Amino acid sequence: MQRADSALMILMADDDEDDCFLVESAFREIGIAHDLRFVDDGQQLLDYLYNKGDFADSDKFPKPNLILLDLNMPRIDGREALPIIKSDPQLRDIPILILTTSGEELDIALTRQAGASSYLSKPDTFADLLDLLSKFCVAILQNPDVPFQVIGC
Amino acid sequence: MEKREPTREDLLEKIRTLEERLLESEQTIQAIRGGEVDAFIVHEPMGEQIYTLKGADHGYRVLVESITEGALILSSDDSIYYCNRTLGEMLGLPIQKIISRRLDSYVASEGREQLMALIEESRRSGTAKGEFLITRNDGTLLPVNVSLNCMSFEDFEGVCAVITDLTEQKQVQEELRRHRTELEFLVNERTADLQHEIIERELAEEALRKSHDELELRVRERTVQLEKVNKALIVEMQERKQNVENVKAERQRFYEVLETLPVYVCLLTQDYHVPFANRVFRERFGESRGLRCFEHLFGRSEPCEVCDTYKVLKTMAPHQWEWIGPDSRNYSIFDFPFTDTDGSSIILEMGIDITERKQAEAELSATITRLELLNAELQEFAFIASHDLQEPLRKIQAFGSMLITRHKDGLNPQGQDYMGRITKAANRMSELLRSLLDYSRTGTNQLNYGPVSLTEVAGEAASDLEWLIHKAGGCVEIGELPTVDADAPLLRQLFQNIIGNSIKYRKESEQPVVKIYGKITDATCQVMIEDNGIGFDECYSQKIFRPFERLHGKNAPYSGTGMGLAICKKIVDRHGGWITARSIPGQGATFIVALPAKQQKGA
Q: How far is B485 from B397, CA to CA, in rounded Å?
A: 42
Q: Taking CB atoms and an 8 Å cutoff, what residues of chain B touch A103? A: 437
**Residues 20-79 (A) with a CB less than 8 A from some CB of B:** 22, 25
Please answer yes or no on whether B430 and A124 come within 8 Å at the CB atom. yes
Does the pLDDT value for residue A108 go beyond 90? yes
Please answer yes or no on whether B391 and A16 come within 8 Å at the CB atom. yes
Does the pLDDT value for residue A5 go beyond 50? no
Contact between B312 and B318 under an 8 Å Cβ cutoff? The reply is yes
Give the pLDDT of residue A67: 94
| Closest to A141 measured CA to CA, from A18, A11, A46 | A11
Per-residue CA distances from B168 to B88, B144, B172 (Å): 18, 10, 6
Of A22, A101, A123, the CB nearest to B390: A101
Q: Is the pTM of this model over 0.80?
A: no
User: How close B430 gets to chain A, by Cα (Å)?
Assistant: 9
Q: Does A150 touch chain B (CB under 8 A)?
A: no
Interface with A, mutate which of B394, B439, B446 (most A CBs under 10 A): B394
Mean pLDDT per 10-residue segment, chain B (603 residues) = 70 85 73 60 60 61 82 85 86 86 86 88 88 88 88 79 83 79 81 84 85 87 88 89 89 90 93 93 91 92 91 92 92 93 92 92 90 83 77 88 86 88 87 83 81 92 91 91 90 93 90 91 88 90 84 70 89 92 92 88 49
Instruction: Give the 3-state secondary structure of residue B477.
Output: strand
Per-residue CA distances from B217 to B205, B209, B223, B224 (Å): 18, 12, 9, 10
Q: How many CA atoms lie within 13 A of B292 on its CB side?
A: 11
Contact between B265 and B283 under an 8 Å Cβ cutoff? The reply is no
Please answer yes or no on whether A126 and B402 come within 8 Å at the CB atom. yes
Closest residue of chain A to B429, computed from CA coordinates: A124
Instruction: Give the 3-state secondary structure of residue A146.
Output: coil
Closest residue of chain A to B388, computed from CA coordinates: A101
Please answer yes or no on whether A126 and B387 come within 8 Å at the CB atom. no
Q: How far is B256 from B327, CA to CA, in rounded Å?
A: 24
Q: Would you mind telling me the total number of residues written for chain A in this entry?
A: 153
Interface with B, mutate which of A23, A25, A99, A125 (most B CBs under 10 A): A125
The residue type at B122:
S
Helix ranges (DSSP H) in A32-77 = 42-49
Give the pLDDT of residue B282: 93
Give the pLDDT of residue B186: 81
Of B387, B395, B427, the CB nearest to A18: B395
Residue B22, burial from CB neighbour count under 10 angstroms (0-12, 13-18, 19+): exposed
| Closest to B511 measured CA to CA, from B536, B478, B537, B476 | B476
The gap from C-alpha B194 to its chain's centroid, in whole angstroms, comes to 60
Q: How far is B416 from B603, CA to CA, in rounded Å?
A: 55
Q: Looking at this predicted complex, what is its ipTM?
A: 0.78
| CA dihedral of B536, B541, B543, B546, whole degrees rounded to 10 | 110
Contact between B139 and B151 under an 8 Å Cβ cutoff? The reply is no
Strand order across the beta sheet in which B276-277 lies: B276-277, B264-268, B345-353, B330-339, B319-324
Q: How far is B244 from B520, CA to CA, in rounded Å?
A: 60
Please answer yes or no on whether A18 and B406 come within 8 Å at the CB atom. no
Give the pLDDT of residue A111: 94
Please answer yes or no on whether B402 and A101 come within 8 Å at the CB atom. no
Q: Taking CB atoms and an 8 Å cutoff, what residues of chain B touch A28? A: none
Adjacent-strand bridge partners of B131: B145
Residue B373, burial from CB neighbour count under 10 angstroms (0-12, 13-18, 19+): exposed
Q: Taking CB atoms and an 8 Å cutoff, what residues of chain A touch B420? A: none
Q: How many other C-beta atoms can be found within 10 angstroms of the C-beta atom of residue A71?
A: 24
Residue A142, burial from CB neighbour count under 10 angstroms (0-12, 13-18, 19+): exposed
Please answer yes or no on whether A101 and B394 come within 8 Å at the CB atom. yes
Burial string for B203-230 (b: 16+ CB within 10 Å, else e) reads eeeeeeeeeeeeeeeeeeeeeeeeeeee
Q: How far is A51 from A45, CA to CA, in rounded Å?
A: 10
Please answer yes or no on whether A126 and B401 come within 8 Å at the CB atom. yes
User: How close A148 gets to chain B, by Cα (Å)?
Assistant: 21
Q: How far is B249 from B580, CA to CA, in rounded Å?
A: 58
**Residues 397-426 (B) with a CB less than 8 A from some CB of A:** 397-399, 401-402, 405-406
Contact between B581 and B587 under an 8 Å Cβ cutoff? The reply is no
Q: Taking CB atoms and an 8 Å cutoff, what residues of chain A touch B387? A: 101-102
Sign of the CA dihedral with A40 first, then A46, A47, and A49 last: positive
| Pairing label, strands B524-531, B513-521 | antiparallel
Q: How many CA atoms lie within 13 A of B381 on its CB side?
A: 6
Please answer yes or no on whether B398 and A22 come within 8 Å at the CB atom. yes
Q: Taking CB atoms and an 8 Å cutoff, what residues of chain B touch A127? A: 401, 405
Give the pLDDT of residue B213: 87
Contact between B427 and A124 under an 8 Å Cβ cutoff? The reply is yes
Strand ranges (DSSP E) for B167-224?
A: none
| Closest to B148 measured CA to CA, from B160, B156, B158, B157 | B160
Please answer yes or no on whether A18 and B430 come within 8 Å at the CB atom. no
Q: Does B390 touch chain A (CB under 8 A)?
A: yes
Q: How far is B173 from B164, CA to CA, in rounded Å?
A: 15
